Chain A
Amino acid sequence: MKNPRACLLAAIWLMSACSTSAQQSAQQPPKPDATAPATQAGAGPARTKMPEGTNINSDAKLMADFKSKVDDYLKLRKSVEGQAPAVKNTSKPQDLLTAEKALAANVRAARANAKRGDLFTPATQALFRRLLNPSVKGPEATENKGAIKEDMPEPKDVPFQVNADYPRDESLSTVPPDVLRALPQLPPDIQYRFVGPHLILYDVKPNMIVDFMLNAIPPIGTKKQ
Chain B
Amino acid sequence: MRIRQPLLPLLAVLSLLSAGALAQDLTLPNKPGTLKFAVIGDSGTGDSNQYRLAKVFADIRQKFSYEFVIMMGDNMYGSQSANDYTKKFEVPYKPVLDQGIKFYAALGNHDQPNQANYKLFNMNGKRFYTFKPKDGVRFFALDSNYMDKEQLDWLDKELAASGSDWKIPFFHHPLYSSGSTHGSDMALRDQLEPLFLKYSVDVVFSGHDHFYERIKPQKGIQYFVSGGAGKVRKGDIRDEGLMAKGFDAGYHFMLIEIDGDQMHFQVISDLGKTIDSGIVLRNKNQSKAAPASAPSVNTVEKPIPAGAKPSTATKKP
Contacts and interface: CB of A to CB of B under 8 A. Distances in A.
Contacts of B125: 88-89
A55 B277 CA distance: 59
Contact of B82 (A94, A144, A174, A181): A94
A185 B148 contact: yes
Interface residues of A, number: 37
B118 A168 contact: no
Contacts of A91: 118-120
A120 B194 CA distance: 34
A219 interface: no
A44 interface: no
Interface in B250-293: none
B80 A172 contact: no
Interface string B94-126: 000000000000000110111001111000110
A207 B114 contact: yes
A96 B117 contact: yes
Top-4 shortest CB links A-B:
A93-B85, A151-B109, A169-B79, A94-B82
Contact of B112 (A168, A174, A177): A168
B110 A175 contact: no
A20 B75 CA distance: 69
Nearest to B120: A91
Nearest to A205: B114
Interface of B: 78-82, 84-86, 109-110, 112-114, 117-120, 124-125, 144-150, 152, 173, 181-182, 185-188, 190-191
B117 A180 contact: no
Q: Is the interface of A mostly helix, strand, loop or mixed?
A: loop
A70 to B, nearest CB: 14
B273 to A, nearest CB: 29
Nearest to B109: A151
B117 A144 contact: no
Nearest to B110: A171
Contacts of A168: 79-81, 112
Interface in A138-189: 140, 143-144, 147, 150-151, 168-169, 171-178, 180-181, 185-186, 188
B114 A87 contact: yes
Contacts of A178: 187, 190
B117 A185 contact: no
A89 B114 contact: no
Central interface residue in A89, A173, A188, by most chain B CB within 10 Å: A89
B188 A177 contact: yes
21 contacts: A87-B114, A91-B119, A93-B84, A93-B85, A93-B86, A93-B118, A96-B118, A97-B81, A97-B82, A100-B114, A140-B187, A147-B185, A150-B182, A151-B110, A168-B80, A168-B81, A168-B112, A169-B80, A172-B109, A174-B109, A177-B190
Nearest to B190: A177
A224 interface: yes
B197 to A, nearest CB: 17
Contacts of A176: 187-188
A26 B267 CA distance: 69
B129 to A, nearest CB: 12
Contact of A144 (B118, B149, B187): B187
Contacts of B181: 224
A153 to B, nearest CB: 10
B117 A143 contact: no
Contacts of A175: 145-146
Contacts of B185: 147
Nearest to A183: B148
Nearest to A91: B119
A57 interface: no
Contacts of A207: 112, 114
A185 B150 contact: yes
Interface string A81-122: 000000111111110110010000000000000000000000
